[in-house]
Amino acid sequence: MFEFLKKKKEPESLYTHELNYFIVKIMREPLAKFVKYQEEKGMRLPIDFETDPNEWLVVLNKMKYAFEQTWINLNGFKNNITLHMDLEEIRENDKKIEEGFDLFGRYIQDLWEHEYMNR
């Protein structure tokens, strides 16, 4: 499941001193696949979203955004969206990222689907 981690040997310090890097590296790709699977096939919904399944997709995409933008920020990619933002826009973007991670923490136990996990 985590074959992408084996592709390139990285310095141990990235995993021992930058835990955020390690967590984002491991979770970003599987979470993106999970969100795509949810969008295409639908899955079991958390209790909070049984009456509004589309809101679950909104929450999942906020989580995905947080991981993707943090990955970009940690790697210093030139396509970082904050390069063209003023200070207020950067603060708003940081709030979006924080919201995505808050939602990830809140719903981590709902990020599974029996059918998806057994593929």
> Total structural domains in the chain?
1
Does the residue 104 lie in any domain?
A: yes
Does the residue 83 lie in any domain?
A: yes
Kindly give the confidence (pLDDT) of every residue in the chain, 119 residues in length, as a single tens digit, with 9 standing for 90 and above.
556 555 555 555 555 568 888 899 999 999 999 999 999 988 888 989 989 989 999 999 999 999 999 998 888 765 567 778 888 998 999 999 999 999 999 999 998 864 544 44
d(CA 23, CA 26): 5
Which are the contacts of 108, defined by CB distance < 8 A and separation ≥ 6? none
Q: Which of 47, 18, 24 is nearest to 101 (CA)?
A: 24
* The two structure tokens encoding residue 70: 């943090």
Q: Which of 63, 42, 61 is nearest to 53 (CA)?
A: 42
For residue 50, the enclosing domain spans 19-117
Does the residue 8 lie in any domain?
A: no
Does the residue 3 lie in any domain?
A: no
pTM for this entry: 0.78
